[in-house]
Amino acid sequence: MSKKYFGTDGIRGKVGEHPITPDFFLKLGWATGQVFAEEGIGMVLIGKDTRISGYMFESALEAGLSAAGVDTHLLGPMPTPAIAYLTRTLRAKAGIVISASHNSYYDNGIKFFSSEGTKLPDDLEHKIEYYLDQPMTTVESANLGRAKRIGDAAGRYIEFCKSTIPSSMDFKNLRIVVDCANGSTYHIAPHVFTEIGAEVISIGAEPNGLNINEDCGATKPEQLQKAVIEYRADLGIALDGDGDRLIMVDNKGEVVDGDELIFIIAKALKTAGKLKAPVIGTLMSNLGMEHALKKLKVDLIRANVGDRYVMALMKEHNSILGGEGSGHIICLDKTTTGDGVVSALQVLAEINRTGQSLHELKSQMCKYPQILVNVRITKKVDLAQHEGIQAAVKIVEKALGDKGRVLLRASGTEPLIRVMVEGSDADAVKRYAHQLADDVRNAIEA
Beta-bridge mates of residue 247: 238
Residues 204-211: contacts with CB under 8 Å, at least 24 apart: 204/179, 204/180, 205/178, 205/180, 206/182, 207/50, 207/77, 207/182, 207/183, 208/182, 209/50, 209/51, 209/52, 209/105, 210/52, 210/105, 211/105, 211/182
Predicted confidence at residue 40, as pLDDT, reads 75
Predicted confidence at residue 96, as pLDDT, reads 97
Which one is catalytic: 53, 66, 99, 101?
101
Angle between helices 258-271 and 287-295 (to 10 degrees): 10
Among 433, 445, 303, CA closest to 381: 445
Cα separation, 223 vs 235, in Å, equals 13
Beta-bridge mates of residue 111: 97
**363 tagged catalytic:** no
Predicted confidence at residue 379, as pLDDT, reads 81
Q: Any idea which architecture 172-255 has in CATH? A: 3-Layer(aba) Sandwich (3.40)
Query: Which stretches within 144-278 are classed as H helix?
Result: 153-162, 189-195, 222-230, 258-271
Query: Which stretches within 287-331 are classed as H helix?
Result: 287-295, 307-316
CA atoms within 13 A on the CB side of 204: 35
Decide the pairing of beta strands 94-98 and 107-114. Answer: antiparallel
Predicted confidence at residue 413, as pLDDT, reads 66
Whole-prediction pTM: 0.94
Among 72, 70, 75, CA closest to 85: 75
Fold of 257-367: Alpha-D-Glucose-1,6-Bisphosphate; Chain A, domain 3 (3.40.120)
CA distances from 210 to 52, 56, 75, 224, 281 (A): 6, 14, 20, 20, 33
Other C-beta atoms closer than 10 Å to the C-beta of 122 total: 12
Averaged pLDDT, groups of 10, the chain, 446 residues long: 82 96 98 87 92 98 97 97 97 95 96 92 92 96 96 97 97 97 98 98 98 98 98 98 98 98 98 98 95 97 92 97 97 97 98 98 96 89 89 93 91 83 94 94 85
Predicted confidence at residue 263, as pLDDT, reads 98
Predicted confidence at residue 398, as pLDDT, reads 94
Q: Please give the CATH number for the structural domain made up of 370-445.
A: 3.30.310.50
First vs last Cα of the chain: how many Å apart? 34
Q: Where are the domains of the chain?
A: 11-152, 172-255, 257-367, 370-445
Superfamily for domain range 11-152? Alpha-D-Glucose-1,6-Bisphosphate, subunit A, domain 3 (3.40.120.10)
Please tell me if the domain spanning 11-152 has the same topology as the one spanning 257-367. Answer: yes
H/E run at residue 359: helix 358-362
Three-state secondary structure call for residue 11: strand
